[in-house]
Chain A
Amino acid sequence: MQVVDRVVRPVTTDPDGPLHQGRFQSPLRDERLAAWLGAPLGVLFATCFVTGLFSHVQQHPLAWLPVPARPAGLYRVTQGVHVASGIACLPLLLAKLWVVWPRLLSYPPVRRVGDVVERAGVLALVGGGVFMVFSGIANIAQWYPWHFSFTATHYWIAWVTIGALVAHVGAKWAITRGTFRRGRTSLDAADPVLGTAAEPPHDGLSRRGFLTTVAAASGVLTLATVGQTLPLPGLRRLAVLAPRDPAVGPQGRPVNRSAANAGVIRAATSPSWRLTVDGRVPHQLTLSLADVHALPAHQAVIPIACVEGWSYSAPWRGVRVRDLLAMAGAAGDAAVRVESLEHNSIYSVSFVDHFQAHDADTLLATHLDGQVLDLDHGYPLRLIAPDRPGVNQTKWVTRVTVL
């Protein structure tokens, strides 16, 4: 500790030292600017947290909190907002951290117990914020430079980040409220109450110019990606940095996992493929593909929304799950488990709660856009149900177990 003190103190406290805070002064390093960047960043983090929780509950069902099947496009909206908000965070987060960065050099680092609590919280917030934005962006680009599970770490670090945010909001409430009461136009004036200085004449970006630039950077990233989920004319063509295009893929529709990746091509095309309906039913069913095609078909326009933030809505045709359950004699409030031919994947099995299983539009689909499903879309049979994450719209279905 003494060694650290001997080394760190002179370079941070001597005004001529290389790491003295004063050397990094800039008209842009103003507490009100930090508040103007921090508030929208906090709103985006909170939005990501709430929408992320919804996605977590969808993928890790809670018995006491079944997810309703309606509105059918709810997950499409929440997950689209989740990913778009996360992308928009990138410029805001970097700008916010740049504005407050010299605080890293304040010496001594802590004076009172409150300082320890606040600085440890800031460490959790910086580490959590950087981790969440980095891991999220890497995940949508399908880049995994780690061995841990993305979903598990993104989920648990989200609690750390939101906790650190709650603590930080409490610490910065007064300055933030004071800043917003005075409005954006007073950013360049001195504020004796807040203890902030006037913006001196300088060339380069002004405080307001810096805010506008950061907003523009978030806007550019949004415009260059949001067309992967928002079905407005023109946006799809602007989405040159989006990891998916809702009109590119087998049958003109993207997929997350191909039949080759899943290793199911032979089993899915085999004449011995069967659909089994078993579990808590009086009549177990075993159906060939011809049997499935002979059942009454139903068509529904249902969005498919990937956890990675892309989505599209399309007409699907197939057998209603509730019709199959009725044939097997399942109870009217039964939930089911749907199994894929795919093995060794956490997404090869999905749970369908009683709301979703008995919805009129929950299908085991054989057709997409009027054509037989492509192998990559789950041929011969895939689950498609309203208000579910794409990873739970199980492909290459071979078994439905009534729970």
Chain B
Amino acid sequence: MGDAGHGPVSSRGRLFWVSAIAGWALIAWGVRGALHHHVDTRPAELARFFFGGVVLHDLVLVPLVLVAGVVLGRTVRGPWKAPVQAALIISGCAALFAWPEVRDYARVLHNPSSLPHNYTAGLLVVVAVVWAGTAVVALVRR
């Protein structure tokens, strides 16, 4: 793939600079607000979460996905690789979303109606349906 922003269609014309100025004005407004309301936003902790999220994503999550891709490439080949990749991507997203529910991080705040389901069972059902559905699609397409 090409370098960021150096391809023939990414030349930085007027649109780039106008939107950069508008965008950075909005960013500055957000940063100013977060700093101004520091009692609520706790800027130091917020900054740890903001940049920590980038670091966790770029240097932990993506490398893990890359490793998973390498392992998958060595274990599953041929026509089944694509459906396995698809099922892994979908069930991985479901697991990430459901993780706080499965772990019941909210237990201290529980009331009779919050998190009413068994989320471990729910996640397993979703994952099972995804793998079954992917297998059916793969078989139909062959």
Instruction: Identify the A interface with B (CB < 8 A).
Output: 21, 24-25, 29-31, 87, 90-91, 94-95, 97-98, 101-104, 106, 114-115, 117-119, 121, 123-124, 126-128, 130-131, 134-135, 137-138, 141-143, 145-149, 152-153, 155-175, 178, 193-195, 203-206, 209, 212-214, 216-217, 220-221, 224, 240-245, 248-250, 253-258, 260-261, 376
Contacts and interface: CB of A to CB of B under 8 A. Distances in A.
B113 to A, nearest CB: 3
B35 to A, nearest CB: 9
Interface of B: 1-5, 7-12, 15-20, 22-31, 33-34, 37, 40-42, 45-46, 49-51, 53-54, 56-58, 61-62, 65-66, 73, 77-79, 81-82, 85-86, 89-90, 93-94, 96-98, 100-101, 105-106, 109, 111-117, 119, 121-123, 125-126, 130
Contacts of A114: 5, 12, 16
Listed from nearest, the 8 A-B pairs whose CB atoms lie closest are A170-B19, A163-B26, A167-B23, A159-B30, A249-B113, A240-B122, A142-B106, A254-B113
Contact of B4 (A106, A127, A194, A244): A106
A30 B22 contact: no
Given A114-B12, A128-B50, A159-B27, 12 more contacts: A117-B24, A118-B16, A131-B53, A138-B105, A152-B34, A167-B19, A167-B23, A174-B9, A193-B8, A203-B82, A220-B90, A224-B122
A181 to B, nearest CB: 11
B20 A157 contact: no
B8 A195 contact: yes
B114 A256 contact: yes
A121 B130 contact: no
B82 A163 contact: no
Contacts of A104: 58
B82 A209 contact: yes
B19 A217 contact: no
Contacts of A29: 1
Contacts of B117: 240-242, 245
Q: Main secondary structure on chain B at its contact with chain A? A: helix
B18 A170 contact: yes
Contacts of B26: 159-160, 162-163, 166
A34 to B, nearest CB: 9
A300 to B, nearest CB: 23
Given A173-B15, A194-B9, A241-B123, A250 B113 contact: yes
A351 to B, nearest CB: 18
B40 A168 contact: no
Contacts of B100: 137-138, 141, 143
B9 A195 contact: yes
A189 B122 CA distance: 41
Q: Main secondary structure on chain A at its contact with chain B? A: helix
A21 B2 CA distance: 10
A347 to B, nearest CB: 14
A106 B1 CA distance: 11
Most buried by B among A106, A147, A193: A106
A164 B23 contact: yes
B39 to A, nearest CB: 9
Given A131-B49, A203-B81, A254-B114, A243 B1 contact: no
B10 A156 contact: no
B97 A90 contact: yes
A111 to B, nearest CB: 8
A243 B114 contact: yes
B23 A121 contact: yes
